[in-house]
Amino acid sequence: MSAVKQIVERTGPIPDLPGLPLFLRRIYGARGVSSAADLDLALAGLERPAKLSQIDKAAQRIAIAVREGQRILFVGDFDADGATSVALGVSLLQAFGAENPDFVVPNRFEFGYGLSPEIVELALARAPDLIITVDNGISSVAGVERANEAGVDVIVTDHHLPGAELPPAYAIVNPNAPGCAFPSKALAGVGVIYYVLSQTRAVLRACGWFGGDGPEEPNLAKWLDLVALGTVADVVPLDRNNRRLVHQGMLRMRKGHCRPGIVALAEVGRRTLSSLSAADLGFALGPRLNAAGRLDDMTVGIKCLLASSLDDARECAVQLDALNRERREIEQSMLADAELLLTRHPVDADDRYGIVVFDPSWHEGVVGLIAGRLRERCHRPVVAFAEGGNGRELKGSARSLPELHVRDALDAIAARNPALLTKFGGHAMAAGMSISRHALERFAKAFDEEVRRRLPAAALQSRVETDGKLEAEELTLDNALALAAAGPWGQGFPEPRFHGEFDLVSQRVVGGEHLKLTLRCEDRLLGAIAFGQPPMNGCERVRVVYALDVNDYQGQTLQLRVAQIEAIG
């Protein structure tokens, strides 16, 4: 854990929210909340499906496939968003009465990302009448062309940013597609397919498909557990629409109204369903799903989410937990290598704006995590590369700062350096790419130059945002419980953090690598936990950045969850 960085306090107009304490109104105001309407997370307020371009065309085609018993095949991505998208699509179509909807998820080490021509050939072996991509497809021009040649319709559902050329699909549903008027551009892939199948249900209802001799009309709210998990795990911004989806999904999880796979993932992650938070989805359940796609095959993750019994789900969850432990070991080794590389070529010494790292021993599925770790430590955009498997190609993953749209930066690099990037795509904060092995040095130079063009020097200053200082009387269990209930917190709507100075009363190591602390603020003694923090030797006073947390061990008590700490005396 690093020492406390430069602190920047979040500020904003304090909204008039009757019944809420100033403590909470101040936090909401700093996140752009201006009225009670901004906090209304009821499902009735969701944006309407009709605002998504081509959604009715897609829904009509899927409804035909359901009614005529056509073979429907989902092609997903190999992360948690992709896994939840596939599980939602398959299980909801089954509830619609579709005949044996199936799925294919590319193994990232054999086929790479998206609906490639190779994946289409694999899909054609299952003789589909309709292919639906989930969480991918917006850049799959060649793959869609191959499916069209074979006489198979393709519906692309995606949320990634499109390139200059769109695939010639039967329909494209993507809030970020050109001309799409859907106001929530931050939908995750699982949110997009949820909307598409919501519209499909409306089409089937209108033609009298449900009831009588047909299936009972399903309540789509039962699938919000998958939407919540995929949305949080993909770290998309929690705008109001996404917050509604996540909030409603988590309400159902906390009441135990979720599928066995999520129960099993919570068990192996040692999380309690009744008090589940968005952070639990992002840091416990999501990573276990992602581990399958990073190290092996996402099929086991999808099977976990599709399991009809808790016993079957637990069997899959145990496999995912083992993969996650292996992923952690690989990540720790790779991070040590990366830090050694930065020691040999210090960032400050050559004033690099954009960092590019590569080691031939690195695991292709874990480089994104390494890029994220280095981005946090160096406070610069980072691209980490691994061997692509054929000895001629490198596959990289980028993580950026809020001030730099990294996918747009890659697009500019590709325009200035034709053929340098063989493939790329992604979001504002994260992207993936492929380059020729011999082009690494050229890419590193081009990336640094492009980041330098786009990023002001002030953005490179290491800093942490907080919601200010709390007085001793505000450090209470009631306030911690209020914050837990006031979420969901996440990307774009960050969990409240505070900073302050405390007397260090006692400390002890727990779990081999974590520090259990007792801090004093005025006359109040406070328990605190600092994960991955070595003992603070020779100091009696500390400066801390922390979150208010609830310790559920033997009842509920206030606990400070330490994000950063440094000795000051």
Alpha-carbon distance values, 332 to 327, 358, 383, 488, 529 (Å): 9, 15, 17, 30, 22
pLDDT for 538 equals 86
pTM of the full structure: 0.92
Residue pair 82/71 in contact (Cβ under 8 Å)? The answer is no
* Residue position matching structure tokens 């209930």: 485
CATH number, span 43-221: 3.90.1640.30
How many helices and strands (H and E) does the chain possess? 18, 17
Element (H, E) at 411: helix 406-416
pLDDT digits (tens, 9 = 90+) for 140-186: 999 999 999 999 999 999 999 898 899 999 999 999 999 999 999 99
pLDDT digits (tens, 9 = 90+) for 198-209: 999 999 999 999
Looking at every residue in the chain, the average pLDDT score rounds to 93
pLDDT for 350 equals 59
Whole-angstrom distance, CA of residue 315 vs CA of residue 520? 45
pLDDT for 264 equals 98
Mean pLDDT within 71-92: 96
Buried b (16+ CB within 10 A) or exposed e, 105-137: bbbbbebbbbbbbebbebbbeeebebbbbbbbb
Structure tokens at 435: 């380059």
The architecture (CATH level 2) of 345-460 comes to Roll (3.10)
Alpha-carbon distance values, 36 to 16, 41, 48, 226, 495 (Å): 8, 10, 21, 27, 19
Query: Looking at 24-38, 128-142, 384-398, which range is the least confident one?
Result: 384-398
Fold of 6-30+467-567: OB fold (Dihydrolipoamide Acetyltransferase, E2P) (2.40.50)
Whole-angstrom distance, CA of residue 320 vs CA of residue 510? 25
Mean pLDDT within 118-129: 95
Nearest to 271 by CA among 258, 259, 281: 281
pLDDT for 461 equals 84
How many Å separate Cα 514 from the centre of its chain?
Answer: 26
pLDDT digits (tens, 9 = 90+) for 403-427: 999 999 999 999 999 999 998 888 8
Is the pLDDT score of 428 beyond 90? no
More confident residue, 220 or 297: 220
The total number of residues written for the chain in this structure = 569
> Domain-by-domain residue ranges, the chain?
6-30+467-567, 43-221, 345-460
What percent of the chain stands above pLDDT 90? 82
pLDDT for 82 equals 95
Mean pLDDT within 256-282: 95
Mean pLDDT within 317-336: 96
pLDDT digits (tens, 9 = 90+) for 431-488: 999 999 999 999 999 999 999 999 998 888 888 899 999 999 999 999 999 999 999 9
